[in-house]
Amino acid sequence: MDLISNLQWRYATKQFDSSKKISLKNLEQIKKVIQLSASSYGLQLYKVLIVEDSELKEKLKLASYGQSQITEASHLIVFCNYSVVTEKHIDEYFNLKSQIEQIDISDLKDYSDFVKADVLNKSEIERNRWTSNQTYLALGNLLNICAELKIDSCPMEGFEAEKYNEILNLEEQGLNTSVIAAIGYRSSEDAAQHVKKVRKPIKDLFVQ
């Protein structure tokens, strides 16, 4: 499978070649794959920011412990989970489901009520953790499509979420920075590309 060989090729890139940029065509493919990511109930309670502006990336670098990937990469992908989830968000999903599947909205009421009860009855901590978890499903797809397109990537949790939220004005939008990924093209000087991939043997990872 090409996917397996491409995943063997990818690694968490530490140094990017800042002179190389991702094409608009490839960026659109990346966006489409993220859009198709699975999420609980299909609600997709997150947004994805694509940061290319150099000045903005410099500010975010300061909130990322000075990691060079932030500014060297072609684009920085910021996954933001909904910090506030309301009945309106769920209604919007079911209205869209009604339109796309051509189902009368009244026929979806029982399912909609069930989803609302499950989601809205979670505590704030549980809900934030749950919506944040959804972004990691999308992150996985981002890493996969980048590998397929021979675009380098580095998923990152080393950042200060509160500072990201402030710089990107996320709180006023009911959003919170969950996880980020730098994407672009590796520098020829990145020593990490020559390190052998370390993964547990299949016999140790799976139980059946």
| Average confidence (pLDDT) over 58-66 | 98
* 1 has pLDDT over 70: no
**Distant-in-sequence, close-in-space partners of 81: CB < 8 Å, separation ≥ 6:** 45, 46, 128, 131, 132, 134, 135, 175, 176, 178
pTM score, whole prediction: 0.96
* Confidence band for 65, pLDDT divided at 50, 70 and 90: very high
Q: What is the pLDDT, as a whole number, of residue 109?
A: 98
DSSP code for 16: B
For the chain, percent of residues with pLDDT exceeding 90 = 99
**Hey, how many other C-beta atoms are within 10 angstroms of the C-beta on 147?**
21
| Average confidence (pLDDT) over 165-174 | 97
- CATH number assigned to the domain covering 2-205: 3.40.109.10
> Which run of H or E residues covers position 177?
strand 175-184
| Integer-rounded Cα radius of gyration of the chain | 19
| Average confidence (pLDDT) over 140-152 | 98
For the chain, percent of residues with pLDDT exceeding 70 = 100
* Confidence band for 89, pLDDT divided at 50, 70 and 90: very high
